Amino acid sequence: MPTFTPRLNLTQPDTGNKLWETDVENWANQLDKAAAQYLSIHLGGAAIDEEVIFDGHFFDEDVSITEVTMHAREAPSGAAFTIDFTKTGIEQTKIASIADGSQKGNTAITGLSFTTLEEFGIKVKSVGSTVPGSEITILVHYHVQALP
């Protein structure tokens, strides 16, 4: 039974297929790795509750958001710093966060994709109540979707 590469869904034949193993496998694996991409967004200054901090981005290819990594120069305190994604201005309830008192956070994201026609954005959903958190770098991990 054939298997598929994890990102681009390229068909891998059963073991023992010498043409695949010698000519195609390494190329297909590297091509699949190239589907993993990153978008870096920086929030300068202190975070503001309910502020749209990034908007109006259109991806060149259909993509699936898979993870968010964040780092704050000044950690939020009193509450977590959280963000949500927007799709053409509509919140998606896919929350990523930096915990209260922490300078970094990592969140897996599932079930969120964008076509080339859908506008991508990020909105702050909550900030620390004592210190909001500031100078925050947001790294959005995404995969280019497989061809249909």
- What pTM value is reported for the model? 0.82
Q: For residue range 71-108, list pLDDT tens digits in order.
A: 999 999 999 999 999 999 999 999 999 999 999 999 99
Tokens encoding 39: 């978008």
Q: For residue range 18-71, list pLDDT tens digits in order.
A: 666 666 666 667 777 777 899 999 999 999 999 999 999 999 999 999 999 999
Domains observed in the chain: 3-34 (no CATH), 37-144 (2.60.120.40)
Q: Where are the beta strands (DSSP E) in the chain?
A: 3-4, 11-12, 36-46, 52-57, 63-74, 81-87, 90-91, 96-98, 104-114, 120-126, 134-144
Contact assessment for residue 81 and residue 133, using Cβ atoms and an 8 Å cutoff: yes
